[in-house]
Copies of this chain bind each other. A is one copy, B any other.
Amino acid sequence: MRLKKFRRLGRRDDVSADELAQMQHQLDEMALREITNLVERMPSVDGAKVLRMLPPDRSLAVFDVLDPAHQAELVSALGDERVVAYFDSMGAEDRVALLDNLPAQIAERLLQDLDEDDQRVTNVVLGYGKGTVGRTMSPAVPDVTPDMTVREVVEMLRADVEELETIYTVPVIDEDRTLVGMVSLRRLFRARGDETIGEVMYEPESVHAMDEDEGAARWLMSTDLLAVPVVDEDERLVGIFTYDEAQDVVEQADTEDSARVGASEPLGKPYLSTPVTQLVRSRVVWLLVLAISATLTVKVLDVFEETLEQAVVLAAFIPLLTGTGGNTGNQAATTVTRALALDDVRKRDVFHVMWRELRVGMMLGAVLGLLGVVIAGLVYDTNIGLTIGATLFMICSVSATVGGMMPIVAKAIGADPAVFSNPFISTFCDATGLIIYFLIARAILQI
């Protein structure tokens, strides 16, 4: 019952501080998971109030699992001491993710307040560019060498367990810090205490700190490894990249892809805690760009105005034909975009994809075209039927081919393939579809 009342509060955009204060004792009884849920569904200013009402350890636990962009907004709404406390207790990689979302002067002040050790590890992570593995990894790794015994390493892990991001995957290095092996806790567990690490370790898998984080994350998640050592260009160990971090990267990438496929900018935080004006900002630019590209279709129709005047009936099919072109193009584009994201398709496959999609488009076009000939032929007349049928066949063939290639071309020129999946394909298919339509109509109807 109490939860219900709270949930109702979360749904409104205005919760007064008084109302929240009355609920203090209810917060004490709620599970952390429920409180997190509540904060994720509130505007930041109210989320900050809830956090301030919690005891420090609970508020930290809630703050810790929020998206970095959401954390950043809460920071400006929270008191100073509270923020400094959060910041001190975060792992270096989470700290950097938050810093990336804060205004420069706040970020700098927070960094200066850290103790020397924390500053050092944070700077290691900050030294790598955004979107790299180095920026997302955890720099806290134990120093394990092949000559140590299993017993020594187990003791060492036991002593350092609080500092380490994971104890389940242990990288092994030589005296230069070059990565020479790795060993799972599972393996250590089965080994005798007096065996050396050199005897039980196996060939290390690794990723480079400069690698793109999304690719490395998807690769890690496709293996059954829980973490992978991170090395620099000299193969020296600099950190560890865990399943957990990889999962955050992949979820964020998929959310961004989904937003871009839908022609808006990613929000970076939960929908309900995003102000309406920010939703507008995330969409208006794309909408304008697309509307302006669409003036091309106005131009095309202007050119064919005479044809239209002679056969107004042609206008009736415009949305059906351009819509079908858009749908065919989008089918191909979303399939290929996802395949690119999962690394099932790569840049060098562009011609292979083109040839596949051309055949798919022609088969789809044949089915729809035949139907178009029959139906439009019966309802209107034979020539209209032929025009619609031939146009559908051509539009499907062109749209599928272009739709399948666009995401790969986008990736090749360094753009986000998702942007080219839906919005631009639709606009492109509209314009080319109209040209195909009127050229075919002119030829068949002889106007």
Contacts and interface: CB of A to CB of B under 8 A. Distances in A.
Interface of A: 11, 40-41, 65, 154, 157-158, 161, 167-168, 185-186, 189-190, 221-222, 224, 226, 243-244, 247, 251, 254-255, 257-259, 261-264, 267, 270-272, 276-277, 279-280, 283-284, 286-288, 290-291, 294-295, 297-298, 301-302, 305, 308-309, 312-313, 315-320, 322-324, 326-328, 330-331, 333-339, 342, 344-345, 349, 352, 356, 359-360, 363-364, 367-368, 371, 375, 421-423, 426-427, 430, 434
Given A190-B161, A291-B320, A426-B326, A335 B264 contact: yes
A422 B168 CA distance: 43
Nearest to A303: B316
15 contacts: A158-B189, A251-B342, A254-B254, A262-B333, A264-B331, A276-B363, A287-B328, A287-B368, A290-B327, A291-B324, A298-B320, A315-B315, A323-B426, A330-B422, A426-B426
A258 to B, nearest CB: 4
B263 A244 contact: no
Given A189-B158, A279-B356, A319-B434, A335 B368 contact: no
Given A271-B339, A291-B371, A319-B430, 16 more contacts: A157-B189, A185-B189, A221-B247, A243-B243, A263-B330, A264-B335, A267-B335, A283-B360, A287-B327, A287-B331, A288-B367, A294-B320, A298-B316, A309-B312, A323-B426, A326-B326
B40 A356 contact: no
Copies of this chain in the oligomer:
2
Given A251-B221, A279-B356, A331 B263 contact: yes
A360 B276 contact: yes
Given A222-B65, A262-B330, A359 B434 contact: no
B320 A297 contact: yes
